[in-house]
A and B are shown apart, each in its own frame.
Chain A
Amino acid sequence: MDANGLLALSSALVLGIAALGGALAQGNAAAAALEGIARNPEASGKLFVPMIIGLALIESLVIYAFVIAFLLQGKI
C-alpha cells in the first residue's frame, strides 16, 4: 500500500472513529436529558440549555476530526 492509500484510509478512519465516539457520548447525554424530562416534564425548559451546551461541546470534538480528515484528504 502506498502513501496515498494510507492517507485515504486514515482520513476515512478518522471521521468514522470520531463519529462513533461522538455518537455514543451524545446518545448518553440526550438519553439522560430525556429521562430527566420524562420524570419531571416541567423541567424541560431548564434541561434544554445545558443539554445543548453539552451536545455542542461533544460535537466540537467530532468537528475537529472532520477538519483533520479534510486536511488529510488535501494531501492525497
Chain B
Amino acid sequence: MKLFASLLMTLPSLAFAAGGFTWTSGIASALHLPEHVVLFGFVSVLFILVGLLYRLKTADVSAALVPDSKFTFRNLFEFVGEFVYGLTRNIMGDKMAKEYFPLIVMLFMFILMSNVLGLIPGFLPPTDNFNTTLALGLFVFIYYNWHGIRVQGLVGHIKHFMGPAWYLAPLMLIIELISHGVRPISLGLRLKGNMEGDHLVLTIFSDLVPYLVPIPFYVIGLFVCFMQAFVFTLLTIVYISLACEVHDHEHHD
C-alpha cells in the first residue's frame, strides 16, 4: 500500500520531468529500470498470458478441431498464426516452414504487440528504443547463423560467403561479411526508427490540434505497426532460408 501510494506520488512529477505522461514511469523509477525494459517485461507477461489462454481454449484436442463460428479470441489468434505460416511456407517450403515456424510467429506476435502498445495513450512502444530492437536483431543473427552451421556444417556455411565462382571468392567474402554484419544493426535500426518516427509524428500532430486531426495518424500508426512487424518477420524468414537452404549444384550450370 505504501509502495502504491509512493508510486502515485511520484507519477505526476516524473511525467513533467520527462516531458510526457506515461503509465509505467512510476514503476520504472521504483524498480530503478529504464522504461523500455519495464514495458518489454509487460509485453512479455501479456504475451505469456495470451498464449496460456489460447492453450486453455484448445486443451481438448477433439473439440478444438472445429473452429469457432463467431469472431472470437481464438479465431483472431489462429488468423495471425495462419497468416504467418502461409508467408513462411511461401518462402521456405513446407519442410523448413514446420521447423522454423515457432520462432517466426513468436517474433511477429511479440513485435506486433509491442508496436501496438505504443498507440495506447500513455504507453510507449518498447520497440522504439534501440537497445530492445538490437537485442531482437542480434537474436535473429545468432539464430540463423547457428542453424546454418547446424544444417550445412561449418564449411558449408562458410561456402555461402564465397560467391558463385572461386575467382570471385576474395571479393565476395568481404562483401558478404559486411552484409551479414550489418544485418542485425539494420533490422534493429529499421524497427526503432520507424516506431520512433511514427510516434514523433503522432505526438507533434496531437500537440498542434488535440481533437480529430490525430485520428488519421493513428490509422497510419496502426499500419506502420503491422508493417514493421511484418517486415522484421519477413527478413528473418529470408535470412533463415538463405542460411539453411540445401543447394543442389548438379542442376545449375
Query: Given the known A-B contacts A49-B87, A49-B90, are A66 and B234 also in contact in the complex, defined by CB atoms under 8 Å?
Result: no
Indicate the member of B87, B91, B193, B197 with the most A CB atoms within 10 Å.
Answer: B193
B235 sits at the interface (CB 8 A): yes
Contact digits for B218-244, partner A, Cβ 8 Å, 1 yes 0 no: 000000000000110011001000000
Q: Which residue on chain A has the smallest CB distance to residue B227?
A: A52
Which of A5-13, A24-32, A36-44, A55-63 participates in binding chain B? Answer: A55-63
Known interface pairs A52-B230, A52-B231, A52-B234; A63-B194 also in contact (CB < 8 Å): yes
A67 to B197, CA, bound (A): 10
Assuming the contacts A63-B189, A63-B190, A67-B193, asked whether A56 and B90 have C-beta atoms less than 8 A apart, the reply is no
Contact between chains at B186 and A60 (CB < 8 Å): yes
Which residues on the A side are within 8 Å of B190 (C-beta)? Answer: 56, 59-60, 63
Residue of A nearest to B194 (CB): A63
Q: Chain B residues near A67: list those with CB within 8 A.
A: 189, 193
Return A44 CB to nearest CB of chain B, in Å: 13
Closest A residue to B228 using CB positions:
A56
**Which residues of the partner chain B approach A49 to less than 8 Å between Cβ atoms?**
87, 90-91, 234
With a cutoff of 8 Å between Cβ atoms, the chain B residues found around residue A64 in the complex are 186, 189
* Contact, CB under 8 Å: B193 / A63: yes
Residue on A nearest B186 in the bound complex, by CB: A60
Residues of B within 8 A of A63 (CB): 189-190, 193-194, 197
Chain A interface, number of residues (Cβ within 8 angstroms): 10
Within the assembled complex, what's the spacing in Å between the Cα atoms of A53 and B238?
9
- Name B199-230 residues within 8 Å CB distance of A: 230
Q: Which residue of B lies closest to A70 (CB)?
A: B196
With both beta carbons as reference points, the residue of chain B lying nearest to A55 in the complex is identified as: B231
- Kindly state the separation between the CA atoms of A49 and B237 in the bound complex, as whole angstroms: 11
Q: Please indicate the chain A residues that have their CB under 8 angstroms from the CB of B90 in the complex.
A: 49
When the two chains form their complex, are residues B234 and A53 in contact, meaning their CB atoms are under 8 A apart? yes
Min distance, Cβ A47 to any Cβ of chain B, angstroms: 12
Which chain A residues have a beta carbon within 8 Å of chain B's beta carbons?
49, 52-53, 56, 59-60, 63-64, 66-67
User: 12 interchain pairs (CB within 8 A)?
Assistant: A49-B87, A49-B234, A52-B230, A52-B231, A53-B235, A53-B238, A56-B235, A60-B186, A63-B189, A63-B190, A63-B194, A64-B189
